[in-house]
Amino acid sequence: MSRIAYVNGRYVPHAQARVHIDDRGYQFGDGIYEVCAVRGGHMIDNGPHLDRLERSLREMAMAMPMSRAALECVMRETIRRNLVRDGIVYLQMTRGVAPRDHAFPKHPKTQIVVTARNAKPHAAAMVEDGVKAIVQPDIRWGRCDIKTISLLPNCIAKQAARVAGAYEAILVDENGVVTEGSSSNAWIVTQDGKLVTRPPSNDILNGITRLEIIRIAKALGLAFEERAFTLDEMRRAREAFVTSASSFAMPVTQLDEAPIANGKPGTLALRLRAAYLAHMDQQAGAA
């Protein structure tokens, strides 16, 4: 089956999908994006994802190129045309095409690209054994709350993880405090059984999966604390995991070369993962 991309009002074969070389996304990384999980052909948590998209646009002083309802139609149609059952839909908006100049163009026209693809289910071993993560310095900018396509520091950290045979890089600031993963939010369960993740601020992306896991944790009555934690605490934690639209909740059982706790996925991590999968299935079934 040939893949189809949506580019500025047209559905085109993926291999022929193009943007102009003067697109500010290409020139400056001047754009934003969203990734929504697709389950059973349905978008998961598209409402919160589009809320965050609109927030990113506002923070970047970019205009929404179409109504939210129209955008949802395009996302659904892209999923449909690509026969996506379980995977992701990707949406990117840039500040448009203009002669190269750092300052914003006077009359920018937001450019939009939507793609969708199936994703392989996570290997059973990843969930049963947990994954390895490595520690990397957080060298990003001061507005990590905006879901910008300028992802070079994240790419560098993820590449370091790949080279080390790890799934994710855990980013740590100059004070030894964990910010988040290179493409995920970071969580621990402390030795006294408290679930901890960092509160939203300019230092992290407020993950939509993170928000749903918080909702689930509260509904389950788990002891939960929204606060920053140090790398040292993470190394000594009873459990660790990361969350994102493509990882769901993924147990982390090794940090650099040392196991976390006994090196096995934690009970809370697995419980929250199962509850999150049920949340996705429920949305897919109800849609």
Catalytic status, residue 120: no
Q: Does 216 bind ligand PMP (CB under 6 A)?
A: no
Q: Does 180 bind ligand PMP (CB under 6 A)?
A: yes
Q: Which of 185, 197, 253, 254 binds ligand PMP (CB under 6 A)?
A: 185
241 contacts 185 by C-beta, under 8 angstroms? no
Q: Does 93 bind ligand PMP (CB under 6 A)?
A: no
Q: Does 209 bind ligand PMP (CB under 6 A)?
A: yes
> Based on CB atoms, which residue is closest to ligand PMP, 110 or 154?
154
Q: Does 148 bind ligand PMP (CB under 6 A)?
A: no
In whole angstroms, the minimum distance from the beta carbon of 206 to ligand PMP comes to 8
Q: Does 179 bind ligand PMP (CB under 6 A)?
A: no
**Type and span of the H or E element at 275:** helix 267-286
Strands 248-255 and 258-259: antiparallel
Q: Cα separation of 72 and 212, whole Å?
A: 20
In whole angstroms, the minimum distance from the beta carbon of 219 to ligand PMP comes to 18
> Based on CB atoms, which residue is closest to ligand PMP, 44 or 98?
44
207 contacts 243 by C-beta, under 8 angstroms? yes
Q: Does 243 bind ligand PMP (CB under 6 A)?
A: yes
Q: Does 279 bind ligand PMP (CB under 6 A)?
A: no
> Based on CB atoms, which residue is closest to ligand PMP, 28 or 33?
33
Q: Does 146 bind ligand PMP (CB under 6 A)?
A: no
> Based on CB atoms, which residue is closest to ligand PMP, 111 or 154?
154
Q: Does 53 bind ligand PMP (CB under 6 A)?
A: no
Q: Does 208 bind ligand PMP (CB under 6 A)?
A: yes
203 contacts 173 by C-beta, under 8 angstroms? yes
- For helices 267-286 and 208-219, give the axis angle rounded to 10 degrees: 110
- H helices of 43-186, in order, are 46-59, 68-81, 124-129, 152-163
Question: Within 13 A of 69's CA, how many CA atoms are on the CB side?
Answer: 0
**Amino acid at site 134:** I
Q: Which of 106, 147, 158, 264 is an active site residue? A: 147
Q: Does 207 bind ligand PMP (CB under 6 A)?
A: yes
Tell me the DSSP string of 200-267: PSTTS---HHHHHHHHHHHHTT--EEE---BHHHHHT-SEEEEEETTTEEEEEEEETTEESTTSS--H
Main-chain dihedrals φ then ψ at residue 92, nearest 5 degrees: -130, 135
- Which of positions 6-35 make contact with ligand PMP (CB under 6 A)? 35
Q: Which residues are the active-site residues?
A: 147
Q: Please give the residue ranges that form the binding site for ligand PMP (CB under 6 A).
A: 35, 154, 180, 183-185, 205, 207-210, 243-245
